[in-house]
Structure 1
Amino acid sequence: MFMVRVLIILLTGADASIGVNYGTLANDLPPPREVAEFLLHSTVINRIRLFDADPQILRAFAHTGIAVTVPVPNDQIPHLTNLSFAKRWISDHIQPHFPSTNIIRILVGNEVISTANHLLIRNLVPAMQSLHTALVSASLHRRIQITTPHSLGILSDSTPPSSAKFRQGYDTHVLKPLLSFLRTIGSPFVVNPYPFFGYSSDTLDFALFRPNPGLFDEDSKILYTNMLDAQLDSVYSAMDRLGFSDVEIVVGEIGWPSNGDKDQIGVDIATAAEFNKKVVARVNSGTGTPLMPNRTFETYIFALFNENLKSGPTSERNFGLFRSDLTPTYDIGILRPTVRTSNPESNPRSPVRGSSEKRWCVTKPGAETVALQRNIDYVCGLGLDCWPIKEGGPCYLPNTVEAHSSYAMNLFYQTMGKHEFDCDFDKTGKITALDPVISL
């Protein structure tokens, strides 16, 4: 029996936890006001992270209610230790736009520790303290948070997650005072986990939330089934070692490119759509991670647009959810239903389409029982409604791994929008137009 509960993947209003990074290193982007109107009226995204305090963009988001995170460039960090400079920065970049623009957070620098620039690193916490004092002077400290984002390069011994710690030297001299300051002012610790930068051909399924053997942590006895959980729990373990497990974690950047160089595996539109859709589902399920259960992490997908002026490999220019004409590179469920209805998939050119026909995902004949059990554990671990296949549930019988796996696989397939790749399950699933209930 296939009972599918409709799951609203993206929350709306103040409870939404998914935002997007709005980068502007491109020469073909629409005007900021058009972007703001598009996000407000055509998507359910209600928070953005900027990469510079562009006054035109800040004005564009005025009166939209969209929560905006504003950065301070790395090169300004040494100057910000001077309170007069910090007050002037707030006066020039924040006060002219607040509160009409809903500025909620200031990020002081970006991945400063990973720069290995000792001048910046030494002045990071003093700059944050000075900027917070400037906010207090302007009576804005209760409305605007101060923090700074980090790459996972701040960790050492991150596998398995329970053994993770911050890099020696930075742990007690930089990160401990930083975390103490964040705890005092009630701000989160921001990290930029990128499974894309951590995967190999052997760990692609682990990075993409697909069924896989997982990573077993001998110390905690936890089996990790996806890379994001392992990364976040590694950060948590490192924070816990310093005594700061109570400080909230925000995911400042996470994403997957839709195009890359020829030698890159798993870099295409379908895979990018799969990854980002699963991130959204995972974050908003409220499942949390093994070491941080029942948490919903505020998460910012990278990025809003492809940025054709970025340097580096091809993938660097192709993280965008949308093209410059505001059509989706692929759909991960962030367009409002009225937009999807008026323009199916909002982009007829996109090869990643869900099916409007009645179709189901079922177990492929001959699939191994061990693989099917992994499918069940994976789907139910996402926080989807597996109660019907529990003992006493209406779909518990027939009590076989094959039947329960078919239920779980179909639940995932229907919930995620009925894309073909959502029924792959490591080649153990197939799509059928025959109602499995009728065929029993």
Structure 2
Amino acid sequence: MGSGGFVQLVFICFQLFLFLGTCRGGKIGICYGRNADDLPPPEKAVQLIQLHNIKYVRIYDSNIQLLKAFANTNIELIIAIPNSDLLPFSQFQTNADTWLKNTLLPYYPATKVTHITVGAEVTEAPNNVSSLVVPAMQNIFTALRKAALHRKIKVSSTHSLGVMSRSFPPSAGAFDSKHAFFLKPMLEFLAEHNSPFMVNLYPYYAYRDSTSNVSLDYALFESSSEVIDPNTGLLYTNMFDAQIDAINFALTALNFRTVEIMVTETGWPTKGSPKETAATPDNAQTYNTNLIRHVINNTGTPAKPGEEIDTYIFSLFNENRKPGLESERNWGLFFPDQTSVYNLDFTGRSGGGAVDTTAGGNFTGGLNNGTWCVASNNASESDLRNGLDWACGPGNVDCSAIQPSQPCFEPDSLASHASYAFNSYYQQNGATDIACTFGGAGFRTNKNPSYDNCMYMVFGTNKTAAANATISPSKSSSCVKAISIWIAVGCLLIGSSAFL
């Protein structure tokens, strides 16, 4: 092979390896609804979100106080135009222009808005506003284009499965023809502008309303058996995938196969009315833990294996003002006082602790004095500061010992003070893996970090902590594996041809 051929081979293979950078796992986010009493102020809620290393958030309006609170956090935000505002936004371009100028532009890009949802589940709304959605989307897009943001901020709308006339078997998935008058132009808009089809999926309701046909394990990603689609032979082990693929087939039937799906709501309630026996903290923890692993692994669906599906869990807080059955008010991961309804690891690495429904709940690993939680050497200064501020604030840790002239003030360093606060929170909350997360800034150790007169808290009896779950998924394993094979084969073929 000549030197020119060798250089060409190296260059082409290098370009192929760059494709590895395009691989990413599906994103897991949280829905931040505020239809509740006694919620913490937005600044505290954002600290809670950061503590749990959540990078993607959906809100249901464009409240200025919220936009300010998310500034400089690097959290990607979905904001919304509610149904009640669709009429003015659909009628006049100037309304969209003014809204963008006064509401979003003053805080962008410090507040990292990535999507705007125009209307929410309009087919379920009591007022017939469906015809207003696409004109409003177009006006919002035009306003973004004028500001040169139309490629950075995507415009879409959210839907329920009510837009479907059939969803089982998945291959028979079809949109309801009565919604075609607005769905078809909407899908054309999404395809033209590379925006996602946003849908709210709730396997909980599929199970609750049809327990004779849907097993609980199937709804919770726990099924050991498979449901076969008789038309395609595809095998389904969970309801989430079946619902996604019903939409995939419906999109394909209308020749919109390139439109990606984003799940803007899913989750499981922790409490329900007497007949809602599946609404428990255990089931909620199981569903969301399995969901997170499924999404960040890029498992995809039987019809689209390896496909990344960005997904938002509903919701951050319980919302006591919501009408309807008891379950409607109990989807939150946190109570308004910011204590956990149950433990959930957003990294997907741990199995999650046992449910903590009270201040003195039981946790995986038990309460033990064999481990401590300290600041990680790899944590950034901002992560340490966020964790320290949260622990000494919403985390209810007594941080008086790290104040000037107190026994743990010296050494006067952020890492030392954070270590003391992290450990106090960790011990007060059961010494579990999740209680030492702090957005990745915490680190568990079996070496007592106490020194001089600074005594680190130890709580409970000397029980052995439960081992960490062995699962350690790659966020883009399917993508990386596929492209790596492609690179190897491609470079081999290129190399072979270079010798000819």
The letter for the 2-side match of 1:244 is F
Query: Structure 1 pair 346/60, CA: closer, same or farther in 2 (3 Å)?
Result: farther
Q: Name the SS of the counterpart of 1:415 in structure 2.
A: coil
Match of 1:353 in 2: 364
Report Cα offsets for 1:213-251 as digits up to 9, x if no partner: 432211011121110010000000100001011111100
**2: CA distance between counterparts of 1:36 and 1:327?**
14
**1: CA distance between counterparts of 2:367 and 2:309?**
32
CA contact (8 A) 2:293 2:348 kept: no
Match of 1:186 in 2: 194
**2: CA distance between counterparts of 1:325 and 1:16?**
30
Match of 1:332 in 2: 344
* TM-fit CA distance, 1:144: 1.0
Match of 2:330 in 1: 318
CA contact (8 A) 1:69 1:105 kept: yes
Report Cα offsets for 1:301-345 as digits up to 9, x if no partner: 0000011111111111110011222222111213899xx99xx98
TM-score by length of 2: 0.65
**2: CA distance between counterparts of 1:169 and 1:352?**
50
> Radius of gyration: which is bigger?
2
CA contact (8 A) 1:28 1:324 kept: yes
**1: CA distance between counterparts of 2:99 and 2:280?**
41
Match of 1:415 in 2: 471
**2: CA distance between counterparts of 1:251 and 1:201?**
24
Equivalent residues in 2 for 1:299-310 (5 A)? 299-310=311-322
The letter for the 2-side match of 1:415 is I
Q: Name the SS of the counterpart of 1:169 in structure 2.
A: helix
- Pick aligned residue for 1:282 from 273, 294, 298: 294
- Pick aligned residue for 2:55 from 40, 46, 57: 46
**1: CA distance between counterparts of 2:316 and 2:178?**
36
Query: Structure 1 pair 346/207, CA: closer, same or farther in 2 (3 Å)?
Result: closer
Equivalent residues in 2 for 1:230-241 (5 A)? 230-241=242-253
* TM-fit CA distance, 1:30: 1.0
Query: Structure 1 pair 311/319, CA: closer, same or farther in 2 (3 Å)?
Result: same
CA contact (8 A) 2:296 2:348 kept: no
**1: CA distance between counterparts of 2:26 and 2:143?**
29
* TM-fit CA distance, 1:188: 0.6
Report Cα offsets for 1:237-294 as digits up to 9, x if no partner: 1000010111111000001011111221211111110011111011111110011110
What 5-or-longer segments of structure 1 have no aligned partner?
A: 1-13, 358-410, 417-440
2:133 matches 1:121:
no
Report Cα offsets for 1:368-397 as digits up to 9, x if no partner: xxxxxxxxxxxxxxxxxxxxxxxxxxxxxx
* TM-fit CA distance, 1:356: 9.2
Match of 1:211 in 2: 223
Report Cα offsets for 1:95-124 as digits up to 9, x if no partner: 121111111111001011232644x11121
**1: CA distance between counterparts of 2:363 and 2:307?**
30
**2: CA distance between counterparts of 1:233 and 1:354?**
38
CA contact (8 A) 2:221 2:290 kept: yes
**2: CA distance between counterparts of 1:349 and 1:174?**
51
- Pick aligned residue for 2:29 from 8, 11, 19: 19
**2: CA distance between counterparts of 1:35 and 1:16?**
24
* TM-fit CA distance, 1:84: 0.8
Equivalent residues in 2 for 1:88-237 (5 A)? 88-115=98-125, 117-118=127-128, 120-171=129-180, 173-199=181-207, 200-202=210-212, 203=214, 204-237=216-249
* TM-fit CA distance, 1:295: 1.3
Query: Structure 1 pair 225/261, CA: closer, same or farther in 2 (3 Å)?
Result: same
Query: Structure 1 pair 335/15, CA: closer, same or farther in 2 (3 Å)?
Result: closer
Match of 2:38 in 1: 28
TM-score by length of 1: 0.73
CA contact (8 A) 1:269 1:352 kept: no
Match of 2:255 in 1: 243
**2: CA distance between counterparts of 1:102 and 1:352?**
36
**2: CA distance between counterparts of 1:415 and 1:307?**
33
* TM-fit CA distance, 1:212: 4.8
Report Cα offsets for 1:144-197 as digits up to 9, x if no partner: 1100000001011211000111001323x2222111111111111101010011
What 5-or-longer segments of structure 2 have no aligned partner?
A: 1-23, 369-466, 473-500
**1: CA distance between counterparts of 2:105 and 2:67?**
11
The letter for the 2-side match of 1:51 is Y
The letter for the 1-side match of 2:122 is V
The letter for the 1-side match of 2:98 is R
**2: CA distance between counterparts of 1:336 and 1:252?**
19
Report Cα offsets for 1:44-87 as digits up to 9, x if no partner: 21010001211111101111010111110102112112111111
**2: CA distance between counterparts of 1:108 and 1:329?**
31
Match of 1:394 in 2: none
- Pick aligned residue for 1:59 from 68, 76, 81: 68
Query: Structure 1 pair 346/268, CA: closer, same or farther in 2 (3 Å)?
Result: closer
**2: CA distance between counterparts of 1:336 and 1:349?**
25
The size of the alignment, in residue pairs, is 343
Equivalent residues in 2 for 1:256-295 (5 A)? 256-295=268-307
CA contact (8 A) 1:201 1:265 kept: no
Query: Structure 1 pair 161/355, CA: closer, same or farther in 2 (3 Å)?
Result: farther
